[in-house]
Structure 1
Amino acid sequence: MSSTTVPTRDAPHRPPAPGGPRLLSVQAFTPTAVEGAAPVQLGLDELGTPLQDVTFVVVDLETTGGSPASAGITEIGAVKVRGGEVLGEFQTLVNPGTPVPAFIARLTGITTGMVATAPPIEAVLPSFLEFSRGSVLVAHNAPFDIGFLKAAARDAGYEWPGNQVLDTVPLARRVVTRDEAPNHKLSTLAALFHATVTPEHRALADARATVDVLHALLERMAPFGVTHLEDLATATDPVPADVRRKRTLADGLPDGPGVYMFRGPGEEVLYVGTSTSIRRRVRSYFTAAEKRGRMTEMVRIAHAVTPVECATVLEAQVRELRLIAEHSPRYNRRSKFPERMSWVRLTSEHHPRLSIVQDVRADAAHIGPYSSRRQAQLAIDALHDALPVRQCTSRLPLLPARGASACALAEMGRCGAPCTTAQEPQGYPAVAGRARATMLTDPADVVEHLTARIAELAATERYEQAADVTSRLEAFLLGAGRAQRLHPLAACAQLVAARPVEGSRWEIVVVRHARLAATGLSPSGADPWPTIDALVATAEDVPAPVAPAPACHPHEADLVLGWLEQPGVRLVDVSHPLAWPVRSARAFADGTRTAQRVAHHGRARLGSGSPTGEPRATDPTEDPC
């Protein structure tokens, strides 16, 4: 497997230009109240970043107009606060490069003469970006002010640092009613909250007034459960009180990769999920970020969350699948029953036929698995379209019965008719051999026949029929591709692989018959071989399955294959060769996409959809489940 290194680097820091803005009232901040305090038990309010520990930079701009495309900045004012204490202030006039319109001068008091000797925005931005580094930017009607700053940074060639932005207007709409104030303008809110500074359309004064408004709004938001920085992202979207109160379920959860289980009455597992940060993900269920009605219903029932910490993301994904299969949670929609997935089998009887089964036998050819019986049937239809495999379901005698007659399909050339003597002695075995090769190694017979049929139908503007044929080809290639990828991994008794991760460590996996048997991380900078030896020695003992069926949930095998195909993965040890056919089903995916585009383009011209009124998958390698 190839190794690809993706370098990353921080954006260069540009020092403030000489002659730029000045810093006012910079104060040292020492958390003396914390030092020497008695230890306390951390509760939910200590999870995440409490608002009193967040550094806010409240910014306000004065400009020559309403759009960055046609106007420039004339003044920047900003106040840095944390825990209710002012840490510093930033103020500067800016030369916009154009005259200040008269009505703007009357509104703000900033004239063309005042900004004529001021530094341009290119000289001001580095100092402001340094002043606001690592903080949450706050503005009243933030899209206006932040929009101007981003446009200026882009035009000056500076990379915008991506600070989190908080707009006080939607916060005010959440907690200030029309009975209290007729509107949510800064001047109105400043008067309502008795701000110490009156807004006067000057940047620093307006920023100072916004600080008082911000503190008053956050104080009003606290009863709604908005006490942490993470809560601000959804603070303007109301969440039912009973759901928000359930936030205590996230108390003490780990901040690392793993699986979480919501439990209901009787310790029933209601839902199983996975995340790179269990705590952050579980907290999101109690905010407006969760839009799914089913999940809100689940949260109302749940009374506890059980975390399962995992060493790697792959382990977390695999554990999630296994727990879903074990508990069948009612709020999970992923496949809970891998045993119900369908395979297409070419039977091993003397006159083979195609059938849909739920198990794999060693003496027969299989493709799949499919998440639905309908998809498996489409794959069979594709094989029947291209090859004269018999479609009757009865078991035929070794020699045809005297006087046996062929069915209508044989008369149309769509069946090899092994039930009669109207064929050469090796005729039907040759058909069965072609079907077996098409399923296992080279799908060219099916692909060429069906793509030609699609082109023929599209040329006569029979686009709905072309789309139906395309669906059959998609289903066949999906099942054949999955089986061809699964077979060598399912047959491999042991595979050990490693992938470099940050911190000079290695992520190591041990796979047995496609099942994740062990995984872990080697210590930073240490020799990984002791970790590899320990994982191999303690890995799960996995009985050999009948390939191509893996010794695990098929989706688990897909996760393992996806991990193995990542750049940088190195194979440490394999007990069985890993090889895929050169002319595999996946190699024909581009041709299928082309045929599908023809069918969809024609349907679009006719203004019609699929017969069921549902969109069709656009990727033939996509798992329909």
Structure 2
Amino acid sequence: MSSSAADPTVSPVRPIRGVQPSFDDLGTPLRDVTFCVVDLETTGGAPGDSGITEIGAVKVRAGEVLGEFQTLVNPAEPIPPFIAVLTGITDLMVASSPRIDSVLPAFLEFARGCVLVAHNAPFDTGFLKHDSQIHGYDWPDFAVVDTALLARRVITPDEAPNCKLGTLAKLFRATTTPNHRALSDARATVDVLHGLFERVGSLGVQTLEDLQTFSARVAPQVRAKRHLAEALPHAPGVYLFTDDRGEVLYVGKSKDLRTRVRSYFTASETRTRIGEMIGIASGVRGIECGTTLEAEVRELRLIAEHKPRYNRRSKFPERQHWLKVTVEPFPRLSLVKQVRDDDAGYLGPFSSRKTAERAMAALHEAFPIRQCTARMSRTPQLSPCVLAEMGRCVAPCDGRIDTSSYGEFVTALRTALVSDPTPVINALTRRIDRLCADERYEDAAVHRDRLGAFVRSSARMQRMASVSGCAEICAARRTDDGAWELHVIRHGRLAAAGLAARGTDPRKYLDMLRASAETVLPGIGPVASASPEEIELVLRWLDQPGIRLVEMNGTWTCPTTGAGRHLSRLDPPRSEDLQHPSERRRRLRPLGAARTS
């Protein structure tokens, strides 16, 4: 889909030159990380049941102290006597101190952009997170280093009987003795942290990422495979884990290939099946992409091509279910797995047979067409079934209705599939209301689920068919750094993608993309040129704010009476459901060099 390759499933992987990476390339050097070492004193051991009485923090980088933070906190509850004896903090000392809701903004500002460090970090961060949530403050996504956990990895019982802060402070000859006051304990933790850095540095830990991996419970054989990510770029793209035979084990995407792949070798990866995959993997192949949409589409196509054993979704796009209005003198609804060029009406695709059967039941509720599977001539002579006796079928089997009259029901059914589902919605709504009036709520829920299956699938098909019907859509979006994301979409399939750098003419780049884009011919059915998942990715991208439709060959519309306007009855309103991108007032504005600055 780049200018050099039209189809991402067959385009060659861009070669990556072999270089000797420096420590800076492998992560954030510890010397460049600003750490905020924090310690709390509290009235007890559990957030919610206890309050904070003191916060102390020291900000350090490259061994230099940048600042300190200390304050007593009024916990709004009596301090237990044994806590007062342990810490020396009394009720009288905190009586005039600020409450935690006044202290938190100042602390969060002090710690902004830092890596939090604490001894037994879950205790301190647990209190801070809990109080932030209670008082409506957003808790930043801090990286956290636990000096107690790190010490357990490198300190042997011969060196120290335990990993308490006081014991470690003596071991590393800290300049401050811990005394259960927050700032003193934080200062002592700084010295312990630097002492631990000396230990782990000799073991090859030079970056923040190395430190987080080392301090976590990561199997040595997993940690040893971190080098597999070293050749990957810091760029959006797709990665493929392979075994020693070259078989693709797993396919994924990321905005930053190297960072994402490195995360598989840390404690943040807890999925059992992925852990098994990492144990088998012997290589990682990266495919750099110009845009995030290109990466998402490449991932889908590569999963469908290789069917990796450790991917769970999108492996079998060919496994789809459709409802078909058969082509015969007296048509009926049939559940099929393939769309054919036979002028039949179709609804789908459905992700499961059960959902398709629910939608079929909804249609039978609204239209009394036959449900039997026997083929019928124009003059059938069969015995009517029980549905005819119940008034649920017009019974063409015994000749009581001719093909012309029966065809009126079929025409209305086809209209409900593609443009106006009102008859189905009205019929199911009346049935649900009657059941609720009779207090038959479980039966009403069954019909509600049938209505939901039909409306959602119909809205989805109409939305995808609208973009699939366009021979070509060229769209652009300006990025935060002034570049242009450019995409060429043909019959709903992403045919080309690229990134025009800031200062270049995006129109010329788009013309080049169009010339080299994949040739896509209209297929059979509403979503035949691409998988439904790909079309939905394309629609989601087109629906973003700031998208400019540059060129369009075809008519991109959805029926005003279509199923999309009824989705609000089923779910809370969502912008992608209630309004089609083409219904918004977007002008086709040309892109020019004047807009590249």
**In the alignment, is residue 365 of structure 1 matched against residue 350 of structure 2?**
no
Change (3 A) 1:430 1:241: same
Change (3 A) 1:456 1:269: same
Shift of 1:184: 3.9
1:185-205 residue CA offsets vs partner (Å, 9 max, x unmatched): 311222344434422345554
C-alpha separation between the residues in 2 aligned to 1:432 and 1:217?
77
Shift of 1:529: 1.5
Shift of 1:568: 2.0
Shift of 1:445: 1.9
Match of 1:90 in 2: 68
Q: Pick from 238, 253, 264: which aligns with 1:259?
A: 238
Moved more, 174-183 or 471-480: 174-183
Equivalences for residues 10-29 of structure 1 within 5 A: none
C-alpha separation between the residues in 1 aligned to 2:431 and 2:30?
65
Change (3 A) 1:113 1:474: closer
Contact 2:40 2:52 (C-alpha < 8 Å) held by counterparts: no
Contact 1:486 1:550 (C-alpha < 8 Å) held by counterparts: no
Contact 2:419 2:562 (C-alpha < 8 Å) held by counterparts: yes
Equivalences for residues 599-610 of structure 1 within 5 A: none
Q: Pick from 264, 278, 285: which aligns with 1:299?
A: 278
Q: Pick from 181, 185, 188: which aligns with 1:206?
A: 185
Match of 1:7 in 2: none
Contact 1:44 1:251 (C-alpha < 8 Å) held by counterparts: no
C-alpha separation between the residues in 2 aligned to 1:114 and 1:462?
65
Match of 2:8 in 1: none
Match of 2:383 in 1: 405
C-alpha separation between the residues in 2 aligned to 1:444 and 1:184?
70
**In the alignment, is residue 499 of structure 1 matched against residue 477 of structure 2?**
yes
**In the alignment, is residue 581 of structure 1 matched against residue 581 of structure 2?**
no
For residue 262 of structure 1, what is the amino acid of its counterpart?
F
**In the alignment, is residue 553 of structure 1 matched against residue 524 of structure 2?**
no
C-alpha separation between the residues in 2 aligned to 1:344 and 1:303?
44
**In the alignment, is residue 396 of structure 1 matched against residue 376 of structure 2?**
yes
**In the alignment, is residue 289 of structure 1 matched against residue 268 of structure 2?**
yes
User: Identity, % of aligned pairs?
Assistant: 51
C-alpha separation between the residues in 2 aligned to 1:450 and 1:310?
47
Match of 1:417 in 2: 395
Change (3 A) 1:63 1:167: same
Moved more, 241-250 or 185-194: 185-194
Moved more, 359-368 or 560-569: 359-368
Contact 2:418 2:458 (C-alpha < 8 Å) held by counterparts: yes
Change (3 A) 1:530 1:74: same
Shift of 1:120: 11
Shift of 1:145: 5.5
Moved more, 460-469 or 340-349: 460-469
**In the alignment, is residue 332 of structure 1 matched against residue 311 of structure 2?**
yes
**In the alignment, is residue 246 of structure 1 matched against residue 225 of structure 2?**
yes
C-alpha separation between the residues in 2 aligned to 1:395 and 1:154?
65
Moved more, 540-549 or 71-80: 71-80
Moved more, 120-129 or 322-331: 120-129
1:403-446 residue CA offsets vs partner (Å, 9 max, x unmatched): 54322222222222223321256321111111111111111222
Change (3 A) 1:226 1:437: farther
C-alpha separation between the residues in 2 aligned to 1:123 and 1:481?
50
Equivalences for residues 94-109 of structure 1 within 5 A: none
Change (3 A) 1:321 1:172: same
**1:335 aligned counterpart, secondary structure:** coil
Contact 1:258 1:276 (C-alpha < 8 Å) held by counterparts: yes
Shift of 1:525: 4.8
C-alpha separation between the residues in 1 aligned to 2:117 and 2:363?
62
Shift of 1:474: 2.5
Shift of 1:548: 0.5
For residue 387 of structure 1, what is the amino acid of its counterpart?
F
Provide structure 2 residue ranges, at least 5 long, that are not aligned to the other structure: 1-18, 579-597
**In the alignment, is residue 385 of structure 1 matched against residue 368 of structure 2?**
no
Please report the RMSD computed on the Cα atoms of aligned residues, expressed in angstroms: 4.0
Shift of 1:450: 2.0
Match of 2:458 in 1: 480
C-alpha separation between the residues in 2 aligned to 1:225 and 1:462?
68
C-alpha separation between the residues in 1 aligned to 2:28 and 2:570?
50
Equivalences for residues 77-156 of structure 1 within 5 A: 78=58, 80-82=60-62, 85-88=63-66, 90=68, 134-142=113-121
Moved more, 329-338 or 555-564: 329-338
C-alpha separation between the residues in 2 aligned to 1:100 and 1:478?
57
C-alpha separation between the residues in 1 aligned to 2:567 and 2:70?
59
Moved more, 108-117 or 58-67: 108-117
For residue 360 of structure 2, what is the amino acid of its counterpart?
I
Change (3 A) 1:258 1:98: closer
Shift of 1:219: 5.0
C-alpha separation between the residues in 1 aligned to 2:251 and 2:408?
49
Shift of 1:506: 2.4
C-alpha separation between the residues in 1 aligned to 2:313 and 2:117?
41
C-alpha separation between the residues in 2 aligned to 1:558 and 1:154?
35
Equivalences for residues 16-95 of structure 1 within 5 A: 41-42=20-21, 46-60=25-39, 76=56, 78=58, 80-82=60-62, 85-88=63-66, 90=68
Normalization by structure 1: what TM-score? Answer: 0.77
**In the alignment, is residue 347 of structure 1 matched against residue 326 of structure 2?**
yes
1:554-577 residue CA offsets vs partner (Å, 9 max, x unmatched): 110111111111122222221111
Change (3 A) 1:257 1:103: same
C-alpha separation between the residues in 2 aligned to 1:69 and 1:335?
46
Contact 2:324 2:345 (C-alpha < 8 Å) held by counterparts: yes
C-alpha separation between the residues in 2 aligned to 1:92 and 1:531?
56
Match of 1:14 in 2: none
Q: Pick from 425, 432, 450: which aligns with 2:428?
A: 450
Shift of 1:461: 4.3
Contact 2:476 2:547 (C-alpha < 8 Å) held by counterparts: yes
Match of 1:320 in 2: 299
Q: Pick from 405, 409, 426: which aligns with 1:427?
A: 405
Contact 1:475 1:620 (C-alpha < 8 Å) held by counterparts: no
**In the alignment, is residue 540 of structure 1 matched against residue 518 of structure 2?**
yes
Shift of 1:385: 2.5
C-alpha separation between the residues in 1 aligned to 2:571 and 2:103?
52
C-alpha separation between the residues in 2 aligned to 1:148 and 1:365?
60
C-alpha separation between the residues in 1 aligned to 2:137 and 2:332?
67
Equivalences for residues 224-239 of structure 1 within 5 A: 227-233=206-212, 237-239=216-218
**2:397 aligned counterpart, secondary structure:** coil
Q: What is the number of residues matched between the two proteins?
A: 554
1:250-297 residue CA offsets vs partner (Å, 9 max, x unmatched): 112111111000011321111111111111111111112112111111
